[in-house]
C-alpha cells in the first residue's frame, strides 16, 4: 500500500483545514477533550456537523442512491483525523455505525426515515450494547424483548451508554430468543429516547466525562423499527464494532500528545542538565516515536483494507481494526505513563493550571486513556479476536 496521499487527497485535506479555520470556535474545538469525548453533545457542535453535512462530507463513502458520494474511505479518514486533531466532534456514530448498517441491512422504511436525517445531522444516536453483566461480551446481553401485537416490549437495563443524555434515538440490542445460543437470538431496535418507559441516569467516569445507565420499563417498539432480520443483531453489531474501533480512536490526538512531550523534553532541564541529553530519556522517546509511526501505519492499513472490502463487496476488516485498536490505545496509555514520568511532579497538575508541564495534558490523558482501552471492546477482547480470527487459535487456547 502507498502511505502517501495523492494530490487529490492533499487538496481535500487543505479544503477541510480551511473550512475548520473558518469555523474555529473554542466551544466547539477543545483539543484537551480526549478521543471518546469528542461527541456532538452541544448546540454549537451540532451546528458544525450540520455545516459538514451541507458540504456533502457526512456521506462521503455512502452510495449515491442514498445521498452519498460513493467516495473512497481515505477521504472520510482525512476528515475525521482533521476534526480529532482540533478536539472537534467526530462523524463515526451516525454516519458509520448506524448509517452503514441501515444501508446494508435496514428496511426501506428505516432508510427513508433516518438516512436523510443523518446526512443533514438532524438526529443524534446513542448506542446500547453493554449491560451490567455483559460489558465486553456483548453477546451475553439480557435486555428482554417480548413479542406483542404490532411489535415488541423491552424490559431491562443498559450501561455505559455515552450519548443517552442528549441523543434522540437509541440504537439498542435486545434478546428476542432466550433459547438460542448467546451469539444468536439478539435483535437490533431503534427506540426514541423520549419514550416514557426509558429512564436515563448519569455516570461520571474517571476521565471527567459523562456516560449513562439506561433503564427500560415496558418500552413498546413497533415492528417497523426492528433493524434487519430478527435474531441477527449480533452479526450486525460485530460489523459495526469494526467501524467503531477505528473511527472512534483516531490517531491525531495521540500524535498531538506525543508532540507535546517532545517539546517538553527539548526545552526542559533537570538538575541543571537538558532533559534531552539523558540517555534513558532519549531511549524512551525513541521507542515512543517509533511506536507512534507504527500506529499511524496500522491506521492507514485499516483504511486500505476497508476500501478493498467495499470495492469487492466484502465485510469490514475485522482483524486489522482490532489490531489497530489494541495497538494504538495501549500505546496511548504508555505515552500517558511516559508523560507523567518525564513531566515530573508538575505533571499532576490539571489542564488549565498555570505552569503545568505540557499544558496539563499529561494528567488528563493519564486518566482518560484507560477508558480508551475499554470502549469499543477491551484490549483483552481485541486479543481474542486477533488470536481466533487472525491466527486461527482455538477458543480456549
Q: Packing angle between helix 279-312 and helix 318-343, nearest 10 degrees?
A: 160
**Within 13 Å, how many C-alpha atoms sit on residue 345's CB side?**
1
Question: Grid coordinates in use for 28?
Answer: 466547539
Q: Give whole-number Cα distances, 248 to 154, 157, 315, 378, in Å.
A: 28, 24, 19, 14
Residue 190: beta bridge partners?
171
The whole-angstrom separation of Cα 274 and Cα 258 is 19
Q: Is the Cβ–Cβ distance between 174 and 121 less than 8 Å?
A: no
| CATH no. of 126-234 | 2.40.110.10
Model pLDDT, residue 92: 72
Per-residue pLDDT reduced to its tens digit, 296-355:
999 999 888 878 777 666 667 888 889 999 999 999 999 999 999 999 999 999 988 998
Fold of the 251-390 domain = Butyryl-CoA Dehydrogenase, subunit A; domain 3 (1.20.140)
Model pLDDT, residue 3: 73
What is the mean pLDDT of the segment spanning 43-62?
93
Question: Within 10 A of 237 (CB to CB), how many other CB atoms are there?
Answer: 21
**Per-residue confidence at 207, pLDDT binned at 50, 70, 90?**
confident
Per-residue pLDDT reduced to its tens digit, 64-109:
999 999 988 889 999 999 999 999 998 878 898 899 999 999 999 9
Please give the model's pTM, rounded to 2 decimal places. 0.88
The whole-angstrom separation of Cα 281 and Cα 97 is 41
Residue 273: beta bridge partners?
270
Residues in CB range of 271: below 8 A, 6 or more apart: none
The whole-angstrom separation of Cα 193 and Cα 388 is 37
What is the mean pLDDT of the segment spanning 167-178?
96
The whole-angstrom separation of Cα 349 and Cα 281 is 21
Model pLDDT, residue 177: 95
- Find how far residue 170's CA is from the centre of its chain: 16
Give long-range contacts, CB 8 A cutoff, 24+ apart: 198-202: 198/170, 200/161, 200/164, 200/165, 202/165
CA-based radius of gyration for the chain? 22
Cell 458544525 belongs to which residue?
48
Tell me yes or no: is domain 7-123 CATH 1.10.540.10. yes
The whole-angstrom separation of Cα 121 and Cα 95 is 9
Domain with CATH 2.40.110.10 in the chain: 126-234
- Helix, strand, coil % in the chain, rounded to nearest 5: 50, 15, 35
Question: Grid coordinates in use for 358?
Answer: 505540557
Residue 157: beta bridge partners?
215
Q: Report the relative pairing of strands 151-158 and 210-222 from DSSP bridges.
A: antiparallel
Length of the chain in terms of residues written: 397
Kind and range of the H or E run holding 19: helix 7-22
Strands (E), 125-283: 125-128, 144-148, 151-158, 169-175, 186-192, 198-204, 210-222, 226-227, 269-270, 273-274
Per-residue pLDDT reduced to its tens digit, 212-226:
999 999 999 999 999
Domain with CATH 1.20.140.10 in the chain: 251-390
Q: Is the pLDDT at 205 greater than 90, yes or no?
A: no
**Per-residue confidence at 246, pLDDT binned at 50, 70, 90?**
low
Model pLDDT, residue 142: 93
Report percent pLDDT > 90 for the chain: 66
Question: Grid coordinates in use for 355?
Answer: 505552569
Domain with CATH 1.10.540.10 in the chain: 7-123
Model pLDDT, residue 17: 97
The whole-angstrom separation of Cα 290 and Cα 282 is 12
**Per-residue confidence at 37, pLDDT binned at 50, 70, 90?**
low
Per-residue pLDDT reduced to its tens digit, 84-95:
999 999 887 889
Amino acid at each position: 500500500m502507498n502511505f502517501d496521499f495523492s494530490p487529490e487527497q492533499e487538496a481535500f485535506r487543505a479544503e477541510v483545514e480551511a473550512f475548520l479555520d473558518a469555523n474555529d470556535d473554542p466551544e466547539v474545538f477543545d483539543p484537551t477533550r480526549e478521543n471518546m469525548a469528542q461527541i456532538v453533545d452541544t448546540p454549537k457542535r451540532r451546528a458544525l456537523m450540520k455545516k459538514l453535512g451541507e458540504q456533502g462530507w457526512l456521506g462521503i463513502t455512502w452510495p449515491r442512491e442514498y445521498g452519498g458520494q460513493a467516495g473512497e474511505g481515505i477521504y472520510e479518514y482525512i476528515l475525521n483525523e482533521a476534526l480529532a486533531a482540533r478536539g472537534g466532534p467526530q462523524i463515526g456514530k451516525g454516519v458509520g455505525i448506524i448509517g452503514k448498517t441501515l444501508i446494508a441491512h435496514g428496511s426501506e422504511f428505516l432508510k427513508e426515515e433516518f438516512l436523510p436525517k443523518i446526512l443533514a445531522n438532524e438526529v443524534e444516536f446513542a448506542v446500547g450494547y453493554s449491560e451490567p453483566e455483559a460489558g465486553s461480551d456483548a453477546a451475553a446481553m439480557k435486555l428482554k424483548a417480548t413479542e406483542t401485537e404490532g411489535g415488541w416490549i423491552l424490559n431491562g437495563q443498559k450501561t455505559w451508554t455515552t450519548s443517552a443524555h442528549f441523543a434522540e434515538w437509541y440504537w439498542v440490542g435486545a434478546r428476542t430468543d432466550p433459547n438460542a445460543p448467546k451469539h444468536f437470538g439478539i435483535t437490533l431496535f431503534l427506540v426514541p429516547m423520549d419514550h416514557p418507559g426509558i429512564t436515563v441516569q448519569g455516570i461520571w467516569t474517571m476521565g471527567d466525562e459523562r456516560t449513562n445507565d439506561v433503564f427500560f420499563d415496558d418500552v413498546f417498539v413497533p415492528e417497523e423499527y426492528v433493524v434487519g432480520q430478527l435474531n441477527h443483531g449480533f452479526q450486525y453489531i460485530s460489523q459495526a464494532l469494526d467501524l467503531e474501533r477505528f473511527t472512534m480512536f483516531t490517531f491525531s490526538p495521540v500524535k498531538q500528545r506525543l508532540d507535546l512531550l517532545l517539546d517538553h523534553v527539548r526545552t526542559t532541564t533537570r538538575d541543571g542538565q537538558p532533559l534531552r541529553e539523558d540517555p534513558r530519556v532519549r531511549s524512551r522517546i525513541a521507542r515512543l516515536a517509533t511506536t507512534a509511526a507504527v500506529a499511524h501505519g496500522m491506521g492507514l492499513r485499516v483504511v486500505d483494507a476497508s476500501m478493498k472490502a467495499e470495492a469487492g463487496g466484502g465485510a469490514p476488516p475485522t482483524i486489522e481494526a482490532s489490531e489497530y485498536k489494541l495497538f494504538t490505545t495501549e500505546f496511548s496509555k504508555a505515552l500517558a505513563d511516559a508523560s507523567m514520568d518525564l513531566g515530573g511532579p508538575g505533571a499532576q497538575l490539571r489542564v488549565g493550571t498555570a505552569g503545568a508541564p505540557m499544558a496539563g495534558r499529561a494528567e488528563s490523558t493519564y486518566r482518560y486513556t484507560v477508558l480508551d482501552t475499554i470502549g469499543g471492546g477491551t484490549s483483552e477482547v481485541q486479543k481474542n479476536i486477533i488470536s481466533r480470527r487472525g491466527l486461527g487459535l482455538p477458543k480456549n487456547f
